[in-house]
Every structure is written in structure tokens, then in C-alpha cells.
Structure 1
Amino acid sequence: MKLSCILILAALVISFSSPALAAAGAQVQIKDYKFQPAQVTIASGGTVTWTNMDSIVHDVKFKDAESPEMKKGEQYSKTFDKPGTYDYICEIHPYMKGQVIVK
């Protein structure tokens, strides 16, 4: 009984301390003409939500998808089902760049 409890505890400690674990989802603010944070890491099947905090219109453009133009306070969400690295920009302000890493 003691040995099984110790093994379960050890497995829990290892799983919670593993740096390979990614968040299920993430929030990105569009603020001061930047994506903040510019890079997020999520688990496969996770969703990223962008919120425009600037008073000017922005969007989020990937190679295969694009948000509508977002006014201040508006949001856009995208779910990522496959592992990989997904680069994106604000097409209106192409110097604004971000990246989603899906584990």
C-alpha cells in the first residue's frame, strides 16, 4: 500500500514539474502595436484568444486563416488541432508579428 502511494505521488510530481506540458489555451493582448505576449505555447486542441486593446483597428493573419478587423475591445479566437509552429502578423501593420507553438 505504501509503495503504491509513493509511486502515485512520484508520478504526479514528475507530471506537474515537466516543462513539456503546455497550456490548454492562451490569451494575447494587442496593445501598443504589439502582440503581448508575442509567443505562446499551447497543447494541441487548445484555443488562443486575441483581444484588441488599442484604439486603432488590428487583425490576426495566418497563412491559412485571418480574423476580421477588430476594433478596441473586440476579440478573435482560433483553435489549433495539430502540433507545429504557426507564425502570424497583423496584416494592417505587418511589422507586428507573433507565433503560436502547439505541442
Structure 2
Amino acid sequence: MPIARPRRNAVRTAASALGALSLLVALSACTDSATDTAPTSTVTPPSATTAAAEARITIRGFVFLPQDLTVRPGEQITVHNNNSVSHTVTATDGAAFDTGDIAPGQSATFTAPDTPGSYAFICSLHPRMKGTLTVV
């Protein structure tokens, strides 16, 4: 006797229903229990253009991530070193900014220049590491 197999449409319908149920459960977990309404904030995907509290450069694999970052004048930028050696974030033209040595696993913060423009930067310890900070 042949084994009965579910029809493709039935499998797709079940998968769609399961996906919708999972989404509903996830959304219900995000509600405010005091008013039972969904939060009013929205989630924005990360990008190289950031809000004031989010400006960040990560050093990983002897590369700045992102290599090009756009910020506002005077914005604070946090640099986290995920390598096993020290690094810096140092402006190549003048003294616009310089984190000094950042030890492995450590972070440093610097302030973006007040003057809009593009500021090339390097790691002064590893000059082949390059990036650009754009102040708008």
C-alpha cells in the first residue's frame, strides 16, 4: 500500500500559517504590558550614516569597519579594537583627531571635527589601514 504524502499546497499553507504564527508571537512579545500597544519606535538597519549615540568604528582583521563613516560636526565616535594588536584612528591631515593607541579588546572615543568635510584617517601603527570620516 503506498504511503500518503501531503499535497504541496497543504504543505505551503501549513508553512505560511506557521510563519504567520511565529511573527504574531514575536510581535506580541514586543508590546507594552501597561497599555497592551506596540511600541512607537522603529528599528533602522545599521548604516555608515549614524545617529549621535551610534557612531562607531570597529577594527577587525586590520580593517576599519566601516571604512567610510558619515557623522555630524562634534559627534562622538567610539572605536573598538577587535584585533590582537594595538591600533589608532588618526587623521592624516593635521591634528583633527587621534585616538592614541587602543589596546586589543579596548575602546576609545573621539570627537568629530566641527568643520564639515572629508577627513582621511589611518592607523598610525599600520599605515596601510585607511578610512574616511565625512562630517556633514
TM-score with structure 1 length normalisation?
0.71
Matches within 5 A, 1:42-53: 42-53=71-82
Unaligned runs of 5+ in 2: 1-48
Residue among 51, 55, 66 paired with 1:23: 51
Matches within 5 A, 1:74-85: 74-80=106-112, 81-85=114-118
Residue among 62, 67, 76 paired with 1:33: 62
Partner of 2:84: 55
Letter aligned with residue 51 of structure 2: A
1:44 CA displacement: 1.8
Question: Which is strand-richer, 1 or 2?
Answer: 1
TM-score with structure 2 length normalisation?
0.55
Contact 2:69 2:133 in 1 (8 A): yes
Letter aligned with residue 62 of structure 2: Y
1:102 CA displacement: 0.6
Distance 1:89 1:66 in 2: 10
Query: Is residue 81 of structure 2 the alignment partner of residue 68 of structure 1?
Result: no
Which one scores higher on RCO, CA 8 angstroms, separation ≥ 6? 1
Matches within 5 A, 1:85-100: 85-100=118-133
Tell me the C-alpha RMSD between the 2 structures: 1.7
Distance 1:60 1:22 in 2: 18
Aligned length: 83
Distance 1:36 1:30 in 2: 6
Partner of 1:101: 134
Identical residues among aligned pairs (%): 33
Matched residue of 1:94: which SS? strand
* Cα displacement string for residues 60-90 of structure 1 (whole angstroms, at most 9, x for unaligned residues): 1113032221111211212122211111100
